[in-house]
Structure formats: structure tokens, C-alpha cells
Structure 1
Amino acid sequence: MSLLIPLGLLGLLGVVGLIIIYIIKPNFQQKIISSTYVWKLSLKYRKRRLSTNKLRNIILIICQILILVSCAVILSQPVFVIKSQEDKPENVIVIDASASMLTEVDTTRFERAVEKARTLAISTFDSDGKVSLILADSKPSFLARRAGSESRNSVLETLDSLVEVSPETGLNACTYGKGDLDESMRLSQEIIEENPSAKVTVFTDKKFNSVPDGVNVETIRDDTEWNAGILNAEVSLSDGFYVLKVDVASYGHDEKLNIEVEVNGANNDSVDTEGMNLVLTADGVVCSEEKTRTVIFKYMLDLTDHDDDVTTYRELSASERFFSFKSILVSIETDDNYTIDNSFWIYGGTKERIKIQYASTIPNPFFQGILNVMRNSYADRYQLDITFVRPDEEAATEGFDFYIFEHKNPEKLPTDGVVFISDPDTSSSNGDFTLSSNLITDAGMTLSDATGGTDSILNNITPGDITLSAITGVTLRDDAYTVLLETNGKKHPALIYKNGVTMDNHKPVKVVLMMFSIHNSNLAVKKDFPLLMTHIFDYYFPTTVSGNAFEVSEEIKLNSRGSELTVTGGSYGSTGIVIQEFPATISPTIPGAYTISQKTFRDPSESITEEIYVRTPAAESNVFATDDALVNPYINKDKVEFYKDLLFYIALVLVALLFIEWWLQSRDNM
């Protein structure tokens, strides 16, 4: 047991005072008077009580002394020590592994930080102390936890390994992303909870406006360092031609930058043509006071397009304008100390071509209209080439990605794409379905969701609002078919689909059957029709990846139209990784270009590819950044966590003693 306030024991002087009171208390004096004979007669009745009174008085004095002692102990705040602060030194070492730590003057900031951390670890071990080591990357973790001097060699080897370059990747332990210092400080709090006297030292290139007590921040910087970088680059269409915006900045000193833009495959009509290569430049772009400057490359400037403090315009000539591209490389030539952000790639300027065929014996303006609308709405993702087959022409059964047959379907269905059949007229030999011979008619038929609301194709669609007057019965011979909509009451299948991932040369594996004609339904005039068509298209032609530029360690969601896709480049090398379960997520850790390849059913011998660019976080380009505050690992440092308070128990004893003292006093008055 320990006392938090030992001076509280001065309250024991009250015991001395009590004893003095009893000493100086006046005693009764014996005097002989005439009535003493009456007292003598009563003595024989009191003799048996004398011994009891003496015992009561003794107990009363003891209770009063214990009451004073209890009060003195309460004043001194007695506790049991749960965790004691160790006498030997203990250091928690946090090393920032952010991309900005790759800033280099002879050696990188990261290498200098590791060397300083090594020196601190050695001095701690020399004092027989303990060392904990945390690497502050995107997912901080302990490299060593409360390691004593017996683990000296292991800890030093771990530190040395951080700066060793891997022969496979050519990189050391410093990342190209943002280090999570906040999470690192929370990890250090685990050590502080075990040893409140542990000290935290953070080796980083950041400065902080507020640093918690007990935390030492070692800022790894050199006054001669500086950086000019491309923070972001993006394109947008304006009047049929691309506008390029480039954000640049200089940190450490002011600089005039020369920006070069290489447009590869410019003005190509499709992915099958090469196009032309353009080189655009913007020279002498002034970057000062660490402010971001936006350089805009645009054909035909508007009246509002003029230079200001943060924007510079570079007007493109007619020979420099471009309406499509395969890739754009933006770069700057500088002799700065952080070169990772001196280039930036842009992809997505050429859209994948999706070939669609619509064939009907009675061409329907509703189908034709929604296809034209889809061509415009999907323009940022795909180039939809739509072929409308005349009623007197034979529909193709190969060479398209999406087939729509209305009222008449071929005897043998295509196998190289998605097949949508509305109001089928025959049981195709390879369709795995058989039509009934009679048309089912009922003017009052309505539809219901056969999936119970679990299928995304029916999102925001209200089946109960769709009415039918006729429907064709069907028997399905493939368990892969799923019924989406059915009629109320007799449960006739109305909308059916299947989605195989492995191509079969003998039968289609991606099929949608709509067992009624929209001429016999109100579907065409409902909002549900365009929703249904776009949901079906999105289901069979999912976006492989949303976006073309991402940050290092950012989660990137991937989808595939086939059974697998391959990702190559950067973190995955030239061999790449093969993904077979979708949707999938990747988190590249190395900046650069990545290629996503997959095969389509239309031409399995060829792969379609999409490219994305992974860049370092723009915030890491500011190599002289100052953040607001560092998380306080001592924020929960409370005496309650280190001691067990005994005041409650002593208070119980005090109350008991007071009760006993009161009872004894009351007996004296009886």
C-alpha cells in the first residue's frame, strides 16, 4: 500500500490531543458526607457493573482513537499500486515512412531517421532500458515491443533492414503513400499504459503546431532541400475537345517551371487505330509562396479565361487540339530533391467499343429510343456502336457484344455475347428453354418480384405497376436461369436471366428472356423500362474500374465481364496477378501505370485493356509541411489506471467505528 498524500498523516496529531484531553480531564474527588451511607448500601448492587463500565470506557477510547486514525489515513489517500513506473529508461521509437521521407540530399530523410533511431536504441540498451519500435506506414505496426537489452542485436538488425533495398522491388521500407502517425501514436499508448514513464520519440519530416508533453519530435529536414511537383492533372471535354488542367507547386523556394505534355494516340477514331502524337509545352510557369498554380491547356479561350494569381492559360492551336487520346504524360524537368512527383499519366481518352444489334420484325420506337439514350449516357465509359436491323434483313448471330431480338429469335442463338429476347417466337435449339404452344391472355395480369427484392437488376423498379394482357409460357431446362419477375396468381415467369462466366461455343451463357411483348404491356410508358434496360446493361457490362487516377494504397474496386482479369505493372510486376472473384479490391503500393486486361466473349483470342495511374498523395509533395497537432498518447494517463483507491473501504470502517462509539455513548446514559 502507498500514500498519495503522506502529509495527511499529520491528522494523527489528533490522537495525541485526545490522550491529553483524557489526562487533564478532572477526576471525581472523594468526600465524606452524611448521606454516604446510602451510597454504601447501593454499592452491593453496582459492584457487578464496575468491570463492565471499565471495559466500555476502554473500548470507547479505542474507537475514538481509531476514528481519528481513519480520518488521518483518508487525508493521506491510501492506494494499492497496480502499475509502478520503472526506474530504467524506456523509449518508444516511431519512424515516419511517408513518401516525403524519400526527399534526398546524399541520403534520404528516411535513412537519416533510421540512423537517429538506431543511435537512440543503442543508448537505451546501454542503460539497460527497453525499446519499442513502430514503423508509421499506411498500416502502422510494432517491429519491436518492449525489447530489453537481451534483444539488442535483434532490434538493431530490424532497424538496419528498414533501409536495405529489396532486390525484387528495388525499394526499402519507406512507402510511397502517407504514413499514419495518428495510429502510430495510439500504438505507443499501449506501451505507456504498461509503463507510464516511457518516452515517445517521433522521427519525421513534419512539423506540428502542437506536440503533447512527453513526446519528442525529431524533425528530419535540410534547409537546402526543395521540391517542385505535379499535384494533379485531369481532362474534361468542352465543345468536343479536351481541356487539360495541371496543378503544380514549388516548396522550399520559388521556381519557374517548364511543363511538357505528350499526348499519345491523339484524335484516333477507336482503340483499333493509332492516332497521332502531340507535344504541348507551357514554359516559365511561376510557382511562388508554396501556392498551387493551375495551368490550363484549352482550345479557343473564352472571355473569362485569363491569367490570375493562381491560374495560367495555355491556348491550343487548331493543330494542337485533340478530341481523343490513348494516354497523356505530363512532366517537368527540375533538379529538386523529391523526384517522384515530376510526372503524371492520364488515361481514359479512348473508350472501349461495345457492339449492339437490335433486330425486330416490328421495330419498336421504345427500344430504339432507349438505345439512343444509352449511347449518350454511356459516352464517358463506352463507345456504343448500335446496328438496327431492317425487318426484311437477316440478323447476325456473331460479332456483337449485345444482341436484342424482338418478336423473332434465330433458331440457333449467338454464343459470343449477351442475348436479350423480347417476346420470343420459337424455342431455339441451343437456348435451354421451351415455349408453350398457346399464348396466355388475361387483361388483368400484374407482375411481382420473384427474387424477394434481392436482385440489383430490379433496383428502383416497381413490378406491381407493370400490367400485361398476354404472356408466353416457358419451361426452363437450365438451372442457371433465375426468374426475376413473374405474374401474380399463377406465377408465370415474365423476366428471366442467366449469367455464365465461362464461354460455351454450343450455347449462350448470358441470356435475358422477356416473355411478353411491350405492345401487350404498359412497361414501355413507365419509368421502369429505361431503368430495367440500363440495369441489365450494367449487370452484363460492369465498369471494370471507376476512374483512371488513384493514390498509393487506395482501395480500387474491380469488376470483370468474363471469368478473370489480370493486373500488371507497379506492385504486381510484369507477371501480374490474376483475379477470378468479383467484385475485387486491390491496393497498389507503388506509383506508376497499371494495366488491367480481360477477355470478352465476342473475341476470346484478344484481350481488352484499361490502364490506370497510381500516384503518390499530393500532400506528400509539400516536403516542408506543418500539421496542426500530434495525437496525445498520454491522454488517458490517469492515476485511476495505475492505483486502486482504498478510500471507500476506509470510509466503511470509519462509519462502523462512529456507530460503535455512538452506541457505547448511549449505553453510558442508560
Structure 2
Amino acid sequence: MVNMIRFINPQFLWLLSLLSIIIILQLIKPKRILVKISTLFLWERLFRKSQTSRWLRKLPKNILLILQLLILSLIVFTLAQPQWVMKGNIALPLVLIIDSSASTNAIDVKPSRFDVIKKEALNIVAKNSIFRSMAIIYAGYKPELKVSFTTNRSTIEKIIKELKSTYSNDTIQESIELAESLLPNTPKEIHILTDGNNPFTLPSNSINDYHIHIIGKGEDNVGITNAKIFPKNVNLAEFYLEISNFSNKFQKVPIVIKLNNAIMERLHIELAPKSNKKIIREIPNKETKIEINLDINDDLKEDNSAHLYLPQPYHKILLITLGNPYLEKALKAIPGADLKIKRDVTQEDFIDFDFIVFDQLIPEYVSPGKYIFIGYPPFNFNFEQIGKISNTRIVSWEEIPIMSLIQPLNVNIYSAILIKSKDLTPFLYSEKGPIGFIYDKKDIFAIVLTFSLLDTNWIYYDSFPIFIYNIINYKNSYNPYKSPGEPIEILDNSGWIYVGTPERRYELENKSGFVEFTETTKPGFYYIKKRAKNEIYVVNLFSKEESDIKPKMNIEINKQNKNKEKGTIYIDLSLYALILSIILLLLEAIIFLGGFNIT
């Protein structure tokens, strides 16, 4: 057995140097002066009171100094978080991996699989020694270490009780990798608490002991496993949904379809065991919200609804130019374009636009946003001009979305500049060097063309307006569909952004022009209110793996290791140090108020 003390935050130990200050102040404290008086009449009452504290005079004269030094030392040790480390033939550190995927919401066991998983986790904690070190990994949208190794039983139990199930896919395999990375050279006892509907593998060469607890037994579930909506032509759009029966019995499924909050259709379908059926409907091609609900009692409610949204294109574009009819025509031809044209540059004008196009009139710097620069980039893009070229032509380009359906092989460039920058990625190439670049940071997206449109014949070809359309549509349109837990990235220049979710409303302060909203665990519509343009996002489950709730691993597995009794116990001493410092502080107060003389 090896015993030792370690500190989690040793940087606080330098505060022990303050002990010398207490000692110095004690040494320079002036002594009391003895004065003779003619009578003790006025002191009799005080003398009688002091008799009750006679035990104080039996204490050492420097007791207050000793207590002050001990109290400060204990406070410093509390901040440094000391741990008593015991290595040897003792219980292994314990890791609990708690599955919170969508299928754990199933109610084939009461009140739900996830509630039973938490109860089992609490039972494991209760059965182990209070000195055993434990850690908790929460297998949600992504694995999360909720608490690192600690012996604080109340903290562990509190965290387990506060855990909530999610609507995300299974992340047990990733959680196992995280567990393996904790204390990598120390054997651990790892308990996986899951409903077992998604198989996983254990590391073949692991030094750890694995215990798998399977919670759940049913398979009675019908769910919406896929749904999509897309434009069919100018006037019509089409949506379809896939409904799957994962049970071993025939199911009659009532379905309610709502279009923009009004009931569009009610229908019934029959599903054979282990089968699915697709439903296709046409609707007007305009901004539309669709909600589908299955009115059925099964073991998993979370996949009985689906939400779809068809946004309509709307692009608020600012063109800053001295005059270019070809560019103006290309921008006006974009569906949903709201174009404003200016002849000068002021930063205040940028804030309300989705896209800003600079034709030769290039500012020195730009704030967060989406841009096209024709001629050269702004100076805050950190570039260097290395030369000029003339009488060349476009010969190649990168296969990226903005070059879709474009083949500008016959395009001549009469004059252009050559630049280099680590922040600019070339995508368009002439015979003499790159002439088109992408600048894509977290809060700024820009296309840079290093030639004037007056110095090319590209504006006369059909590929030019398609190129402009691709840029605007690719970066300004958005995919409204998110998986549970997937963050929504919001780019806007307003000071506050408001988000409405299926559960509550959020107000987000926007200091940098970019906000990442992560509270997307519950399926439904998410409303983003911005200064430039409001947006609607949709979160759906749509997972056959999670909807198929039948456990695939129906036995409990114990992978034992021959080093089972070798391990480490970490006992947190900081709480004890804090309690002792408080006791000593109270003792010092009692002695001081009792009139003890330390001189």
C-alpha cells in the first residue's frame, strides 16, 4: 500500500507565505503598560467575571497566534484541494456511463427506461465505499464528463438525479473511448447503463473491467423515421413522410397533418409487422410550416411527431458601385432579391443587409457579414499584392458549390492583380495565377475577384449571372433542419437575438456578430428573431436506430480483468480542512471575547 498527499490546485500554496506577515505583526505589536491605581473598587465586577474564564489562563500565552496560523494554513489547503492518494490492493476507480439517447425515453419499463437507468446508477453508488473514487460520463448528443473522479458521494448523487434524457442518437461508443482516456494507466471499473438498442464493442486490449447493465425489454413502437419537403416547380412543393412499424403486430395508425397550424388532412394507415409506408402530398410552393402527429399509444412518444418548414428565398442585397448594368441585372435576377444600390461606402449601411457587393469601391476594413469584393480585398484581410497580369484567360476552378453548373473556359481577363495571403483560399485560376479567392472565417464570408468586370468578357456569358446567383444562394440560404442537440449558428449584427423554442424563450446577447445556440434537444420549431432577417429552424428525431427500441444486447456482460484488485483511491480532504478552519475560527473568537491576554 502506497499513501501520499497531492494537491489538485497547488498554485494556491504560495499563499502560505502570508503566515510570515501574521508572525511579524505579532512581534511588532506594542506591549501593555502596567499602571498603579489607588483602589480596586471599580474593577471588582470585572474581576468577578474573569473568574468564570479561569481556564483561559491555563492556555499557552501564544494560543491566539497559533490558532491564526492554523486557520490561515487550513484555508490555503482548502483552496489547494488536497487529496489523500492510496495505491495498492484496493477498489478500482469507478466510471458510470449513463445512456441518455432518445430510445431511453421508452416507457416499456416504468416510469421510463431513463428513470430506471438513473435508479440503477444510484444503487451502484450506494453499494460502494464512501472512499471510492467515482466519475460520471453522460452519453448525450456528445459524451460529456459530468464529474471527474471524486469521493464526494452527495455531489455524485445530486448530478445523477439532475440528469435528463435527450432526443439524440446513441453515443455509447464515443463514451467508452472517453472512459478509456481517463487515468489511462490506471485500471478502472466501468459500468455502462444503457437500454442496449444500439450494439457497441468493448476495447479488446483494455486494462479496465466492464459491467454492462441493460434496461428495457419492449419493442412496441411506431415512429416517423423520415420526412422531407422541397420545391417541385414554381407553383408546387412536395413533402413525403416515412412511417415505420418496429413491433411484431399489425398497427392501425391515425395521422393528423397540419399546414400552417390548420388541419390539412386526417387519415388512417395500416402497417404490417416490421414494415414501413411512405405518404406523399403536394402543397403550394410558398413559405410553409407542416406538423405531422401520429395518434397512437406505443412505448416511445418522441418519434410520433414531425415538423417541416419550407422557407422562401429572400435576400436583402446592397450593391456599392459607380455603375455596372450587367452586375445590377445579375443581382436583380436572383429569386427573392431585394436590391439596393449606392454610389459610396459607409459602414453604417452594412448592418441591415444579408449580402454586400463592392464593385471597385472597396473599404479599408469590414465588420462581420457576407461580401463580394470585385477588384481587390479590403486591407484587414491581411494580403500582399505581388504583381499584375494581363491578357490571360480562366483555365480551371475548384469543384465547389459556387461553381456549380459553370464552365467559364472561354472567359478572357484583360487585367488583374496577383495577391497572396494565408487567409485567402484560391478557387478560380487563370493561366498566370489565381484570380478568385474565398475568405471564410467564423463571422465573415467573402468572395474576392482580383479583376474589374470592365476588364473581362465574362459579363457577356450566361455563366456570369449563374455564378452570382450561386454565391448569394449558397451562403445566404440556410438548411433549417437540425438533429437534436445540433447547435444553430446565428450570424447577425444586432445587439440581442431572440430565440423561441418548444419549451421557452431565450434572449441572447450578441457582442461579436456570431452566436451559437445549443439548447436544441427537444423536437419542434425554433424561431430566430434577428435584426436583418428572421429564421425558422426545425429539430426532428428521424432515427431508425432510436425508434427501433428493442434491446439488441439482451444480457448483462461482465468483462473481468486480472488486475481487478489493483487500483487507486482518491480522498478529497478539502472539505475536512474547511470544517476544521471554521471550528478553529470559532474557538479563536471565544478565547478573544473571553479576554485572554496573549502577552
- Which residue in the other structure is 1:447 paired with? 416
Tell me, yes or no, if structure 1 residue 242 matches structure 2 residue 237.
Answer: yes
- Which residue in the other structure is 1:524 paired with? 459
Offset, 1:333: 0.9
With the length of structure 1 as denominator, give the TM-score of the two structures. Answer: 0.50
Offset, 1:103: 1.8
Q: Which of 192, 203, 218 is matched with 1:202 structurally? A: 192
Q: Which of 540, 558, 570 is matched with 1:615 structurally? A: 540
Bigger CA radius of gyration: 1
Distance 1:222 1:119 in 2: 20
**SS of equivalent to 2:228:** strand
Asked if the contact 2:485/2:520 (under 8 Å) is kept, the reply is yes
Distance 2:171 2:345 in 1: 62
Distance 1:219 1:125 in 2: 24
**SS of equivalent to 2:476:** coil
Tell me, yes or no, if structure 1 residue 579 matches structure 2 residue 510.
Answer: yes
Asked if the contact 1:90/1:131 (under 8 Å) is kept, the reply is yes
Offset, 1:558: 3.5
- Which residue in the other structure is 1:329 paired with? 291
Asked if the contact 1:448/1:464 (under 8 Å) is kept, the reply is no
- Which residue in the other structure is 1:476 paired with? none
Unaligned runs of 5+ in 2: 1-85, 362-389, 392-413, 438-442, 568-599
- Residues 121, 533 of structure 1: CA spacing in aligned structure 2 closer, same or farther, 3 A cutoff? closer
**SS of equivalent to 2:290:** strand
Tell me, yes or no, if structure 1 residue 590 matches structure 2 residue 521.
Answer: yes
Q: Which of 77, 89, 96 is matched with 1:93 structurally? A: 96
- Residues 449, 258 of structure 1: CA spacing in aligned structure 2 closer, same or farther, 3 A cutoff? farther
- Residues 264, 195 of structure 1: CA spacing in aligned structure 2 closer, same or farther, 3 A cutoff? same
Distance 1:629 1:523 in 2: 67
After superposition, residues 138-537 of structure 1 pair within 5 angstroms as 138-143=141-146, 147=150, 151=151, 154-155=152-153, 158-164=156-162, 172-189=163-180, 195-196=186-187, 198-206=188-196, 208=199, 214-223=209-218, 226-239=220-233, 240-254=235-249, 255-264=251-260, 277=262, 279-286=264-271, 288-289=273-274, 291=275, 293-299=276-282, 321-352=283-314, 354=316, 366-367=326-327, 370-371=330-331, 375=334, 379=335, 383-384=336-337, 401-403=339-341, 446-450=415-419, 452=421, 454-455=423-424, 459-460=427-428, 462=430, 518=454, 521-525=456-460, 529-530=464-465, 533-534=468-469, 537=472
Distance 1:163 1:533 in 2: 54
Distance 1:414 1:211 in 2: 58
- Which residue in the other structure is 2:531 paired with? 599
Unaligned runs of 5+ in 1: 1-82, 165-171, 266-276, 300-320, 385-399, 425-442, 467-483, 486-494, 496-500, 502-509, 601-607, 643-670
- Residues 155, 570 of structure 1: CA spacing in aligned structure 2 closer, same or farther, 3 A cutoff? farther
Q: Counterpart of 1:264 in structure 2: which amino acid? A: N
Offset, 1:559: 3.1
- Residues 194, 132 of structure 1: CA spacing in aligned structure 2 closer, same or farther, 3 A cutoff? farther
- Residues 123, 282 of structure 1: CA spacing in aligned structure 2 closer, same or farther, 3 A cutoff? same
- Residues 144, 347 of structure 1: CA spacing in aligned structure 2 closer, same or farther, 3 A cutoff? closer
- Which residue in the other structure is 2:25 paired with? none
Percent of paired sites with the same residue? 16
**SS of equivalent to 1:176:** coil
What is the aligned residue count?
A: 413
Render the CA deviation track for 1:460-513: whole Å, top value 9, x for unaligned: 2649699xxxxxxxxxxxxxxxxx99xxxxxxxxx9xxxxx9xxxxxxxx9x99
Offset, 1:625: 4.7
Distance 1:631 1:525 in 2: 70
Q: CA RMSD in A?
A: 5.1
Distance 2:421 2:248 in 1: 63
Q: Counterpart of 1:200 in structure 2: which amino acid? A: I
Render the CA deviation track for 1:172-230: whole Å, top value 9, x for unaligned: 4323323422233234435685554x43322110154866794222111144x632222
Asked if the contact 2:100/2:140 (under 8 Å) is kept, the reply is yes
- Which residue in the other structure is 2:400 paired with? none
Distance 1:283 1:106 in 2: 29
Offset, 1:355: 7.4
Offset, 1:551: 0.6
Asked if the contact 1:212/1:630 (under 8 Å) is kept, the reply is no
Distance 1:215 1:256 in 2: 42
Tell me, yes or no, if structure 1 residue 107 matches structure 2 residue 111.
Answer: yes
After superposition, residues 561-580 of structure 1 pair within 5 angstroms as 562-563=493-494, 566-570=497-501, 573-580=504-511
**SS of equivalent to 2:126:** helix
Offset, 1:620: 2.2
Distance 1:461 1:628 in 2: 59
Offset, 1:336: 1.9
Offset, 1:245: 1.1
With the length of structure 2 as denominator, give the TM-score of the two structures. Answer: 0.55
Distance 1:227 1:144 in 2: 34
Offset, 1:257: 1.4
Asked if the contact 1:554/1:587 (under 8 Å) is kept, the reply is yes
Distance 2:452 2:190 in 1: 72
Distance 2:555 2:231 in 1: 41
- Which residue in the other structure is 2:476 paired with? 543
Offset, 1:530: 4.4
Tell me, yes or no, if structure 1 residue 133 matches structure 2 residue 71.
Answer: no
Offset, 1:294: 4.0
Q: Counterpart of 2:180 in structure 1: which amino acid? A: Q
Asked if the contact 2:318/2:356 (under 8 Å) is kept, the reply is no
Q: Counterpart of 1:599 in structure 2: which amino acid? A: R
Offset, 1:137: 2.6
